């Protein structure tokens, strides 16, 4: 009979309940540290209350833990002893966790002794004495037998195979002997319609009788943190399910999933175990029964373990006795694929906001995106396109500002006139979209003079309304970026779009160009704005590049994100400036023509001076690749083809196809050569040898 008096009778007046739930080496009548919270002073005591004829706990450090065994279990399970409904649940928890074998229908349950048939193999009786400070060890003996055809069919209906049963140490038992809480012996014998199965542990056995009134009980010493399936888990995995019972674990494992269970759905789940498992699995999911007990328990555990990322999945089952757990789910004909679909729906709900935001970013191959217009190019090689950054760099006095001015002039020019854009093709701004220039270095007087040169080159007599230029030298670095972001948004709507943005001096948007976090943040923001407003943002960086690479974190990040990087350098003839490509997203920068421009006194502006001869371009290519080879072989003597290809891609920021073409060029020019030793490795050639 499931009532308070019967539980006290079977648990030594509640002492066994305290021993089950309160770990540690405590003794009756002695003060100890309460292990249920961070107790710093031994002022907790379990004593026998003669008036009420039961054991009670008194905690002078935290009176919330004082009371009888039912109060203690209620405290641990977040249940209120004063609530009749909660008190019944407390009784059920104690009955289940201590395997008292009491029924909840008001009828007492006796443990009948049956005659044992001849054993197949008999285990040694477990009769370990019980010290006062340990949980009660129930002596037991078992007789194992082979699974009958009917027993094998029982497990098979849930998809559980004999191999899984063996791996998880599940045996068919012919006989189980033990003692009840009063020390009286009893025997369970397997019958054709009442099989007995055993989940065998190191110092215990948990008995499962699926068709009997008493379904679960145990012998030996059940661990405090009993966890079935823990030893069989892999080192790492994607998803781990926590189920309500061992059969559910076996069913999930048989269908290719990872699973564990604790003693029951109402058992406490140790947080330290879940914390360790959270490092090994991406998801930890509670998958309890779909009845009221399972739903309430999974919700409670999910709330308690929320900080460890534990979620709960509710099965689409009726919650009846025949249709409530994952074993029933598979028994009803659902497959592994059906359960995966159910889990995907769970993930969709879990990631609903993210997936909704991500949906517009998905590439639909049947509906190609609108091609970005090529705003800036040289010999049909795209340099500046909609939604991208174009980097322009070079030393002081190389003509960067004049070259950038020619790009702006190409966007503000009168479309009826042809102008000199210093060898660069600029898409006409026929829609009069906004053209924005933000200067962070030059004085207001110098910027005014530069704008005059831009309008002169663009053959404009007055400054167009859509052309806006700002001198930001008086602003703080933080204010500059904010001003750029907000004004771009304003002019985008005012002029129906933005044709081009020039930021002359992006290094002045950060406190330090070698600050990685700031550099990444600024370039990411500019790249984001270019995509939002479908424009090309020209970023002028006043650094002298080191060969084909830009210096500093800001330069490296710009080189990584920009569609192209151009370097403006002085020629051997100091009157001539040369435009060199350091990076182009599509193709090889070393194959882009070397564009020249110089000052024309008569016109009072820089003019296009043609391309350098092909020989110069080849010489530059050879020089740059010789420098790359020198960098590679300064760290190693030999290099495989794959390693060399990868290092060229990294150093020059080019694609694999371009890197392979460079290797071919380097071999033809004897910059590198094959090792004569037959290893197939590359070594420095005659030029670098």
pTM: predicted TM-score of the whole model, two decimal places: 0.55
Q: Does residue 595 share a domain with residue 446?
A: yes
Token output for 370: 């609108």
Under 8 Å between Cβ of 262 and 245: no
Q: Does residue 179 share a domain with residue 93?
A: no
Task: Judge whether residue 272 has pLDDT over 90.
Answer: yes
Q: Does residue 273 share a domain with residue 213?
A: no
Exposure of 48 in the CB half-sphere (CA atoms within 13 A) = 9
Q: What is the pLDDT of residue 591?
A: 76
> Among 612, 639, 660, where does a domain finish?
612
The CATH number of whichever domain residue 581 belongs to comes to 3.40.50.300
Exposure of 85 in the CB half-sphere (CA atoms within 13 A) = 2
Number of compact structural domains in the chain: 5
Task: Judge whether residue 340 has pLDDT over 90.
Answer: yes
> Among 186, 203, 220, where does a domain finish?
220
Q: Does residue 410 share a domain with residue 290?
A: no
Q: Does residue 587 share a domain with residue 449?
A: yes
> Vertex 136, ends 130 and 137: CA angle to 5°?
75
| Residue in 584, 594, 598, 596 with CA at minimum distance from that of residue 614 | 594
User: Could you tell me the pLDDT band of residue 245, with boundaries at 50, 70 and 90?
Assistant: very high
User: Could you tell me the pLDDT band of residue 110, with boundaries at 50, 70 and 90?
Assistant: very low
Q: Does residue 628 share a domain with residue 604?
A: no
Task: Judge whether residue 107 has pLDDT over 80.
Answer: no
| Residue in 399, 410, 427, 375 with CA at minimum distance from that of residue 595 | 399
Q: Does residue 246 share a domain with residue 301?
A: yes
| Residue in 55, 50, 60 with CA at minimum distance from that of residue 22 | 55
Report pLDDT digits (tens) over 274-294: 999 999 999 999 999 999 999
Task: Judge whether residue 246 has pLDDT over 90.
Answer: yes
The CATH number of whichever domain residue 279 belongs to comes to 3.40.1360.10
Q: What is the pLDDT of residue 124?
A: 44
**Torsion, CA 85, CA 91, CA 93, CA 94, rounded to 10:** 160
The CATH number of whichever domain residue 627 belongs to comes to 1.10.10
Q: What is the pLDDT of residue 547?
A: 65
> Among 581, 612, 643, where does a domain finish?
612
Q: What is the pLDDT of residue 687?
A: 55
Task: Judge whether residue 121 has pLDDT over 50.
Answer: no
Q: Does residue 142 share a domain with residue 8?
A: no
Report pLDDT digits (tens) over 464-508: 999 999 999 999 888 999 999 999 999 999 999 999 999 999 989
| Residue in 236, 298, 292 with CA at minimum distance from that of residue 266 | 298
Give helix 641-652 / helix 614-633 axis angle, nearest 10°.
Answer: 120
Cα 321 to Cα 13, 91, 318, 324, distances in angstroms: 34, 21, 9, 6
Q: Does residue 334 share a domain with residue 284?
A: yes
Under 8 Å between Cβ of 298 and 267: no
| 443: region left, alpha or beta (phi > 0 left; psi from -120 to 50 alpha) | beta
Across all residues in the chain, what is the average pLDDT? Answer: 87
Inside any domain, residue 467: yes
Q: What is the pLDDT of residue 104?
A: 60
Q: Which residue has the tokens 């700031």?
A: 518
Question: Higher confidence at residue 246 or residue 478?
Answer: 246
Coil/strand/helix, residue 74: helix
Token output for 569: 């350098």
Q: Does residue 638 share a domain with residue 591?
A: no
CB atoms within 10 A of CB 154: 18
Under 8 Å between Cβ of 613 and 601: no
User: Could you tell me the pLDDT band of residue 364, with boundaries at 50, 70 and 90?
Assistant: confident
Inside any domain, residue 268: yes
Inside any domain, residue 284: yes
Cα 425 to Cα 225, 414, 495, 568, distances in angstroms: 74, 15, 23, 17
**372 φ/ψ angles, rounded to the nearest 5 degrees:** -70, 135
Inside any domain, residue 113: no
Inside any domain, residue 107: no
Q: What is the mean pLDDT of residues 212-218?
A: 90
Inside any domain, residue 369: no
Distance CA 268, CA 284 (A): 16
- The residues near 52 (Cβ < 8 Å, ≥ 6 apart) are 68
DSSP-derived pairing of the beta strands 498-504 and 536-541: parallel
| Residue in 166, 116, 160, 126 with CA at minimum distance from that of residue 146 | 166
Dmax (CA) of the chain: 121
Task: Identify the bridge partners of residue 30 per DSSP, sorted by sequence position.
Answer: none
- The residues near 348 (Cβ < 8 Å, ≥ 6 apart) are 355
Under 8 Å between Cβ of 532 and 466: no
Domain that holds residue 276: 227-357
Report pLDDT digits (tens) over 299-317: 999 999 999 999 999 999 9
Report pLDDT digits (tens) over 498-535: 999 999 999 899 888 888 889 999 999 999 999 999 99
| Residue in 587, 598, 527, 523 with CA at minimum distance from that of residue 556 | 523
Inside any domain, residue 27: yes
Inside any domain, residue 20: yes
Q: Does residue 520 share a domain with residue 638?
A: no
Q: Which of 78-82, 284-288, 535-539 has the lowest mean pLDDT?
A: 78-82
Q: What is the pLDDT of residue 132?
A: 39
DSSP-derived pairing of the beta strands 576-584 and 536-541: unpaired
Q: Does residue 159 share a domain with residue 40?
A: no
Q: What is the mean pLDDT of residues 566-571?
A: 90
């Amino acid at each position: 009979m499931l009532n308070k008096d019967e539980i006290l009778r079977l648990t030594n007046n509640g002492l066994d309940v305290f021993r089950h739930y309160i770990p540690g080496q405590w003794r009756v009548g002695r003060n100890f540290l309460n292990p249920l919270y961070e107790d710093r002073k031994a002022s907790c005591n379990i004593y026998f209350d003669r008036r009420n004829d039961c054991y009670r706990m008194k905690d002078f450090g935290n009176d919330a833990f004082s009371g009888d065994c039912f109060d203690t279990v209620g405290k641990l399970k977040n249940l209120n002893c004063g609530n009749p409904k909660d008190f019944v649940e407390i009784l059920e928890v104690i009955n289940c966790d201590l395997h008292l074998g009491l029924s909840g229908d008001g009828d007492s349950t006796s443990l009948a002794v049956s005659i044992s048939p001849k054993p197949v193999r008999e285990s040694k009786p477990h009769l370990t004495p019980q010290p006062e400070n340990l949980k009660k060890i129930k002596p037991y003996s078992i007789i194992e037998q082979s699974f009958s055809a009917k027993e094998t069919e029982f497990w098979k209906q849930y998809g559980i195979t004999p191999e899984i049963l063996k791996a998880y140490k599940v045996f068919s038992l012919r006989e189980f002997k033990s003692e009840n809480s009063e020390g009286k012996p009893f025997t369970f014998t397997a019958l054709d319609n009442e099989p007995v199965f055993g989940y065998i542990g190191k110092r215990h056995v948990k008995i499962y009788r699926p068709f009997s009134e008493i379904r679960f009980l145990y012998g030996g010493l059940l661990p405090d943190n009993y966890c079935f399936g823990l030893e069989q888990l892999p080192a790492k995995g994607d998803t781990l399910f926590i189920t309500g019972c061992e059969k559910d674990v076996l069913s999930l494992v048989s269908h290719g999933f990872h699973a564990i269970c604790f003693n029951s759905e109402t058992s406490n789940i140790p947080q330290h175990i879940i914390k360790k498992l959270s490092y090994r699995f991406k998801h930890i999911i509670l998958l309890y029964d779909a009845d009221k007990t399972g739903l309430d328990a999974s919700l409670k555990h999910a709330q308690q373990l929320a900080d460890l990322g534990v979620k709960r999945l509710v099965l689409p089952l009726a919650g009846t006795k025949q249709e409530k757990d994952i074993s029933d789910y598979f028994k009803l004909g659902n497959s592994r694929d059906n359960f995966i679909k159910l889990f995907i729906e769970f993930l969709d709900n879990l990631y609903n906001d993210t997936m909704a935001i991500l949906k517009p970013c998905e590439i639909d191959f049947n509906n190609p995106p609108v091609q970005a217009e090529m705003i800036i190019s040289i010999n049909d090689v795209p340099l500046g396109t909609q939604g991208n950054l174009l980097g322009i760099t070079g030393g002081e006095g190389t003509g960067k500002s004049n070259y950038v001015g020619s790009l702006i002039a190409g966007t503000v020019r009168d479309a009826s006139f042809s102008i000199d854009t210093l060898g660069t093709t600029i898409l006409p701004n026929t829609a009069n979209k906004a053209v924005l220039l933000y200067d962070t270095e030059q004085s207001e007087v110098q910027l005014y003079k530069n704008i005059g040169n831009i309008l002169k080159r663009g053959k404009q007599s007055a400054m167009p309304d859509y052309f806006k230029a700002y001198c930001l030298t008086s602003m703080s670095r933080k204010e500059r970026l904010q001003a750029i972001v907000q004004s771009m948004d304003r002019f985008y709507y005012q002029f129906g779009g933005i044709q081009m943005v020039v930021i002359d001096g992006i290094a002045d948007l950060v406190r330090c160009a070698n600050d990685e976090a700031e550099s990444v943040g600024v370039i990411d923001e500019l790249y984001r704005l270019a995509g939002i407003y479908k424009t090309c943002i020209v970023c002028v960086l006043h650094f002298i590049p080191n060969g084909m690479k830009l210096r500093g974190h800001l330069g490296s990040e710009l080189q990584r994100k920009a569609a192209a990087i151009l370097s403006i350098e002085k020629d051997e003839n100091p009157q001539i400036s040369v435009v060199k490509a350091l990076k182009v997203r599509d193709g090889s920068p070393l194959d882009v023509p070397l564009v020249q421009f110089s000052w024309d006194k008569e016109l009072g502006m820089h003019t296009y001076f043609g391309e350098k001869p092909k020989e110069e371009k080849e010489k530059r290519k050879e020089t740059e690749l010789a420098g790359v080879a020198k960098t590679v072989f300064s760290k190693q003597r030999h290099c495989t083809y794959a390693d060399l290809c990868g290092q060229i891609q990294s150093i020059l920021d080019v694609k694999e196809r371009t890197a392979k073409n460079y290797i071919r060029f380097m071999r033809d020019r004897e910059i590198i050569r094959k090792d004569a030793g037959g290893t197939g490795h590359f070594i420095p050639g005659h030029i670098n040898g």
